[in-house]
Homo-oligomer: A and B are copies of this chain.
Amino acid sequence: MPSIDVCFSPELLHLYDLKGKAVVAVDILRATSTMVTAFAEGAATIYPVMDLEECRNFAVNGCLTAAERNGIKAEGFDLGNSPFGYMDGKVKGREIAITTTNGTRAIRMSEAASEIVVGAFLNLQAVADHLESLGLDVLIVCAGWKGQFNLEDTLFAGALVERLQGKFSSENDSTLAALYLYQTAKADLLNFLRQSSHVRRLEHLEIHKDIEFCLRHDAYTTLPVWRKDRLVDLKS
C-alpha cells in the first residue's frame, strides 16, 4: 500500500526525499485555489514563477501576468490572487504567468518529484482519484504562511487523507494531526478558521467572499499538473 505524508512548510521540505513520489502542492488561501479556478475557467497554461520581475517578462509573449504580495495584487499586473478575478471569460484560452508569496514556492521547490499536482478543496476529489490511479507514495506540501504552519493548508491535507483512507497508509504524525484537525473542523470549516489571527488578517483585506469560495469542496474536476516548466490541466 503506498503511503501518504504531510509536509507542513516548504522550510521542512529538505527532510523529505521527493524522488518517485507524487507531490500535492497546496496553498488554499489562495494560490492553488485560484489556479484550479483559472483552469476551470478555460486557462490554457499557467507558469508559476518565483519573482515579480520574471513574471512581468512573460507579458512580452502575450501571457496574462498575475502577482500577489502580502495578500494583495501587485501593481502593474493583469490579475491578482482572487479566484473571482479569473472568471467571466477573462482567462479562457490564455496563458498566465503567476507569482504569489507562498504557493508558487511550494510548487517550484517540489520539482524533484515524479508528479506535482495542484490541490485545493475546489478539486479535492479529482486530486484524490488521480493519486489513487498513480499509486505512488504521496507527499502533501503545504505552502504555509512565510514558512510557518497554517491551518487552512493543513485542513486540506486532512481532507485529502480522509478521502484516501484505506487506500494509502497514513500513520506518520503530521498526517494523523492533519486528519484529526480536519475531522474536528469539517462541520464548519469557516468558523473554525476564523479563530486564526492569520485568517482574520486575510479577512481584513476584504477577501471574505474568497475565503468562503476557497473552502468549497469538489466544485471543479480540474486537475493542474506540472509538466516540465508549466502547469497544464490533465482533465481538459
Q: What residues of chain A have their CB less than 8 Å away from a CB belonging to chain B?
A: 8-9, 11-12, 15, 145-151, 154, 171-174, 176-177, 180-181, 184-185, 195-198, 200
Given known pairs A11-B15, A12-B11, A197-B172, the reply for A177 and B151 (CB within 8 Å) is: yes
Contact B151–A171 (Cβ < 8 Å)? no
A177: contacting residue among B15, B146, B172, B181, CB under 8 A: B181
Contact A15–B151 (Cβ < 8 Å)? no
Copies per complex?
Answer: 2
Contact B184–A196 (Cβ < 8 Å)? no
Contact B176–A177 (Cβ < 8 Å)? no
Report the separation of the CA atoms of residues A59 and B181 in the bound assembly, to the nearest whole angstrom: 46
Report the separation of the CA atoms of residues A174 and B176 in the bound assembly, to the nearest whole angstrom: 15
Report the separation of the CA atoms of residues A184 and B148 in the bound assembly, to the nearest whole angstrom: 23
Contact B172–A154 (Cβ < 8 Å)? no
Contact A197–B171 (Cβ < 8 Å)? yes
Smallest distance from the beta carbon of A92 to chain B beta carbons, Å?
Answer: 36
Contact B184–A171 (Cβ < 8 Å)? no
Contact B181–A196 (Cβ < 8 Å)? no
Please, which residues of chain B bring their CB within 8 A of the CB of A197? Answer: 171-172
Smallest distance from the beta carbon of A123 to chain B beta carbons, Å?
Answer: 23
Contact B176–A146 (Cβ < 8 Å)? no
A179 nearest CB neighbor, chain B only: B195
Report the separation of the CA atoms of residues A96 and B87 in the bound assembly, to the nearest whole angstrom: 65
Report the separation of the CA atoms of residues A185 and B181 in the bound assembly, to the nearest whole angstrom: 11
